[in-house]
């Protein structure tokens, strides 16, 4: 219901209430009717549900089946190892995911324990949970808002709504109605909303919505309705698992049929076929993926990115679009004066501020050479001001206390050498006319202390610029409001009458700053000999206009480079904010998120919440890939934007820090919350938390995600080509009329040990130099795409053919080996060929010499250890009995090693030839 469109009398009539509030009896009845003022939990997953969900992936099911079959084959050790992998994977997944179900609990923490209400005609303190529609709630600065309410009385009432709307500036509240339809939350200035805070003034509201019917409740409802989707990696692993299951089934049938046809025993052929089917499944894949993700998550923590859900690590590598909240994410979440305008002379402070850093320090030099005009402007802004500076406890810097806008003026004054504590001694306040939303200004009266000894230039210039009067009045406020009460203007130390030319110059400067997305305040003054006792009319009349201050929540310094790196990496950044369209567009342009196009005006570059509300999903789908800035956006709109982008096949990272971001964070592929300024709600709904609130950290995380995905592909490329080599050996030998060369225990040894150790080492391969210079891999691509499947089909049979060479030499040449010898040679050649394969798959394009042999020491160590283990299987007597091997002579061993290097040489040679061909194109 559009409560903001109703007069307060109409609201009272509809709610059957009044300014005196409800009676206790009415409140009790309504509590039964509407229920308690709290958020409900709906459809929360139980711990058991989350745990059981870890066993539903196709690859995990295949591993469980493989473990059961291994038990029946008598391979108890192999079965136990497989089950350990499954259990560890489930534990890791459970601990990461169960925390994601706590977002609603974090929302509940935002409730207010007690509030002051007017009931039975008296002011009472009641529990917030017992509030009902029609209650009159009283507020003052520092109070939390417990329910949605229509403002009945506002005495300079301001509410900070950044957590709900994303707008960093507190909103002035009024009791006047608004006629606009579909007015965004940030513009409903006669409403207060649950979960926000009162920062200034006092007032009263009539409660119109409680519990799940509030805007906060609406967010909670959306948060619980959003369903978790599988990540790209999970979908690809499922796809691979299904194909492997089908392949394993047909493999069992083919090997069993061929073996029986060749005269083999039924039970022996069945065990061999099933053993080969188990071998075809890369048991180490789930372990490698989990370990790669876990190690990646550890590396990310060192770079200030905390991963809450392991699959999110890889998903980062697939990101095509980053939807970022503005306030506190792209910007510093602190209003800052960036422009001073005195007598038409504009001074831009942005670059000067960048050199000093964000922290205000006492000993820093003024960022601009002070003069009389600037000293007067900044002193006026700092003195007609209730904000103060307070020293930080943990360093030598200072922070502001009070309204952010007023704090920005105090900081700007200090950065130019005029500290408020000293100004208060030099020109102490003796009277004031407080700010009101009707006048849009405040005035203060100060006594000029001319006896004070001064050393610093800014204070001298200030005093020299003041006439010989005893008192001075400073007024600050909206420029149009000040022009109505000013008849003169200050220009280069002189005072002139305001004529039409001066009027238009001031108005033009004001409009230009507003178009740059700035909040503009003017400062005026007049000097008097005595303080009038007749009120504001006497003080705020015939003032001298001094100048303008333009302030904005500035972009973080490192974000521009991060945005540029995103574009180089083929990732599109999008800004979504509850702030004003002018402000959004200015920041987006400044950061490079929006790039102006010829023939397009500003209205075509940014879409507002009001436009989004009128758009159908199809309408939004048509423009969502072209628009990079959204303003005055509500929580529903954020989810709508994410949905539209996902409909266009995009993989979305959504950053945010407020309650309003939580549903979109959970709906996106990667929800990224802020660790410092982020609410508990946004953190619990996220997949990743930025510990330093730095947008640039996302870029580092994406680089890590791409590296991990590349490494998982390398493992799949390695293990599947090796497994195809094993299958080739087991299938081709019987078809050629030769004995089956490997038994089940030898196949499982190769699959778990020879595949496993180098495979794990491939999972920690360092980041490639071009990782962030190429576009993200297509979200819909198969895990076997980009040459991986081709590699498996070509290299796997080559490896199998090379491994069969000892058996072929024994049967088709004059060379003769005993049965145990040629079987051991086939076994060793196949196992060692996989070591060369592991070294070769480190890069698709670069040879091992170009990469550096020792850039992945873990892989070198794994290859050396695996070689040693294979030698032990050949030469240690008790292992010979287990694996049915025999000791090879030096010549036989050298032949096996020589044959096994062919795969490595062929693959490396193909890379070299491809590089030559690419250079000659």
Q: Which residues are catalytic?
A: 325
* Contact partners, residue 369, CB within 8 Å, separation at least 6: none
DSSP 8-state secondary structure symbol assigned to residue 672: E
b/e burial code for range 532-571 (CB count within 10 A of at least 16 → b): eeeebeebbeebbbbbbbbbbbbbbeebbebbebbeebeb
Angle between helices 559-568 and 695-735 (to 10 degrees): 30
Q: Contact, 604 vs 627, CB < 8 A?
A: no
Q: Which spans in 16-74 are helix H?
A: 24-34, 47-53, 58-72
Pairwise CA distance, residues 123 & 801, whole Å: 91
Q: Could you tell me the two tokens for 124? A: 């009472």
Q: Could you tell me the two tokens for 529? A: 């000999």
Q: Which spans in 416-485 are helix H?
A: 420-426, 457-465, 479-483
How many of the other CB atoms lie within 10 Å of CB of 471? 18
Degrees (nearest 5) of the Cα angle 241, 243, 249? 100
Distance set, CA 42 to CA 101, 745, 799 (Å): 11, 51, 55
> Is beta strand 572-576 parallel, antiparallel or unpaired with respect to 629-631?
parallel
For residue 306, the surrounding DSSP H or E stretch is strand 305-307
Pairwise CA distance, residues 379 & 377, whole Å: 6
* Contact partners, residue 476, CB within 8 Å, separation at least 6: 380, 381, 384, 385, 409, 441, 442, 482, 521, 522, 523, 524
Q: Could you tell me the two tokens for 668? A: 């996106």
Question: Could you tell me the sign of the dihedral formed by the alpha carbons of 257, 258, 262, 268, in that order?
Answer: negative
Distance set, CA 345 to CA 368, 379, 704, 740 (Å): 14, 18, 48, 91
Nearest to residue 485, comparing CAs of 432, 446, 525?
525
Pairwise CA distance, residues 406 & 169, whole Å: 11
> Residue by residue, what is the 3-state secondary structure of 113-163?
CEEEEEECCEEEEEEHHHCCCCCEEEEECCCECCCEEEEEEEEEEEEECHH
Q: Could you tell me the two tokens for 807? A: 């058996």
Pairwise CA distance, residues 701 & 688, whole Å: 9
């Amino acid at each position: 219901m559009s409560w903001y469109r109703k007069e307060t009398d109409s609201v009272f009539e509809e709610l059957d209430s009044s300014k005196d509030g409800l009676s206790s009896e009415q409140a009790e009845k309504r509590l039964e009717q509407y229920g308690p003022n709290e958020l409900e939990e709906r459809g929360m997953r139980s711990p058991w549900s989350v745990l059981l969900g870890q066993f539903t992936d196709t690859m995990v099911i295949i591993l469980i089946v493989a473990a059961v079959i291994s038990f029946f084959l008598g391979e108890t050790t192999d079965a136990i190892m497989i089950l350990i992998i499954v259990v560890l994977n489930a534990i890791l997944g459970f601990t990461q995911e169960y925390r994601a179900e706590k977002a609603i609990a974090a929302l509940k923490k935002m409730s207010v324990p007690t509030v002051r209400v007017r009931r039975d005609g008296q002011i009472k303190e009641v529990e917030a949970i017992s509030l009902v529609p029609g209650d009159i709630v009283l507020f003052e600065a520092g109070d939390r808002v417990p329910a949605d309410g229509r403002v009945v009385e506002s005495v300079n009432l301001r509410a900070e709504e950044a957590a709900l709307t994303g707008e960093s500036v507190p909103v002035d509240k009024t009791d006047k109605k608004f006629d606009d339809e579909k007015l965004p939350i940030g513009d409903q200035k006669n409403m207060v909303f649950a979960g926000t805070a009162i920062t200034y003034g006092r007032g009263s509201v009539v409660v119109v919505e409680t519990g799940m019917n509030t805007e906060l409740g609406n967010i909670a409802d959306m948060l619980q309705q959003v369903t978790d989707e599988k990540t790209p990696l999970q979908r690809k692993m499922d796809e691979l698992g299904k194909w492997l299951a089908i392949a394993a089934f047909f493999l069992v049938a083919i090997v069993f049929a061929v073996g029986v046809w060749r005269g083999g025993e039924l039970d022996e052929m069945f065990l061999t076929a099933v053993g080969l089917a188990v071998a075809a499944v890369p048991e180490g894949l789930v372990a490698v993926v989990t370990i790669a993700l876990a190690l990646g998550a550890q590396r990310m923590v060192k770079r200030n990115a905390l991963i809450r859900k392991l699959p999110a690590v890889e998903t980062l590598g697939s990101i095509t679009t980053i939807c970022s909240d503005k306030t506190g994410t792209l910007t510093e979440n602190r209003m800052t004066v960036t422009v001073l305008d005195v007598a038409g002379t504009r001074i831009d402070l942005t670059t000067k501020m960048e050199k000093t850093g964000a922290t205000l320090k006492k000993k820093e030099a003024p960022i601009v050479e002070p003069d009389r005009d600037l000293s007067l402007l900044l002193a006026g802004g700092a003195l007609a001001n209730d904000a103060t500076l307070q020293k930080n406890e943990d360093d030598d810097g200072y922070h502001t206390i009070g309204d952010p806008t007023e704090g920005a003026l105090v900081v700007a004054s200090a950065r130019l050498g005029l500290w408020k504590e000293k100004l208060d001694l030099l020109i102490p306040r003796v009277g004031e006319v407080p700010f009101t939303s009707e006048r849009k200004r405040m005035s203060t009266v100060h006594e000029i202390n001319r006896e004070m000894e001064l050393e610093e230039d800014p204070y001298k210039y200030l005093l020299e610029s003041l006439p010989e009067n005893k008192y001075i009045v400073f007024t600050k406020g909206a420029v149009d409001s000040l022009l109505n009460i000013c008849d003169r203007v200050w220009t280069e130390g002189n005072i002139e009458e305001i004529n039409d030319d001066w009027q238009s110059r001031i108005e033009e400067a004001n409009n230009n700053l507003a178009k740059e997305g700035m909040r503009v305040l003017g400062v005026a003054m007049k000097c008097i000999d005595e303080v009038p006792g007749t009120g504001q009319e006497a003080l705020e009349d015939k003032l001298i206009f001094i100048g303008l201050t333009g302030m904005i929540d500035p972009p973080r310094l490192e974000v521009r480079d991060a945005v540029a790196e995103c574009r180089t990496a083929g990732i599109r950044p999008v800004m979504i904010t509850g702030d004003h369209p002018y402000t959004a567009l200015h920041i987006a342009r400044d950061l490079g998120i929006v790039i102006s196009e010829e023939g397009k005006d500003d209205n075509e570059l940014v879409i507002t919440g009001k436009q989004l509300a009128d758009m159908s999903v199809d309408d939004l789908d048509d423009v969502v890939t072209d628009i990079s800035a959204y303003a005055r956006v509500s929580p529903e709109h954020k989810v709508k934007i994410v949905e539209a982008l996902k409909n266009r096949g995009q993989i979305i990272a959504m950053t945010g820090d407020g309650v309003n971001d939580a549903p979109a964070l959970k709906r996106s592929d990667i929800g990224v919350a802020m660790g410092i300024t982020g609410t508990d709600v946004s953190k619990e709904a996220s997949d990743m938390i930025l510990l330093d609130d730095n947008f640039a950290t996302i870029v580092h995380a994406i680089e890590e995600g791409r590296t991990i995905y590349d490494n998982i592909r390398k493992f799949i490329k390695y293990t599947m080509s090796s497994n195809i080599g094993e299958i080739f050996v087991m299938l081709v030998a019987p078809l050629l009329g030769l004995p089956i060369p490997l038994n089940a225990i030898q196949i499982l040894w190769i699959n778990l040990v020879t595949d496993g150790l180098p495979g794990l080492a491939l999972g920690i391969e360092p980041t490639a130099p071009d990782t962030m210079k190429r576009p993200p891999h297509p979200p819909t691509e198969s895990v076997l795409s980009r040459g991986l499947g081709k590699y498996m089909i070509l290299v796997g049979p080559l490896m199998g053919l090379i491994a069969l060479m000892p058996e072929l030499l024994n049967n088709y040449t004059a060379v003769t080996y005993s049965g145990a010898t040629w079987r051991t040679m086939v076994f060793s050649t196949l196992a060692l060929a996989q070591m060369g394969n592991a070294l070769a798959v480190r890069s698709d394009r670069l040879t091992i010499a170009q990469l550096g042999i020792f850039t992945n020491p873990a892989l070198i160590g794994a290859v050396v250890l695996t070689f040693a283990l294979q030698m032990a299987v050949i030469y240690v007597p008790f292992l010979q009995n287990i694996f049915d091997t025999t000791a090879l002579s030096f010549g036989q061993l050298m032949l096996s090693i020589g044959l096994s290097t062919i795969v490595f040489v062929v693959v490396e040679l193909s890379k070299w030839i491809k590089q030559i061909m690419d250079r000659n194109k």
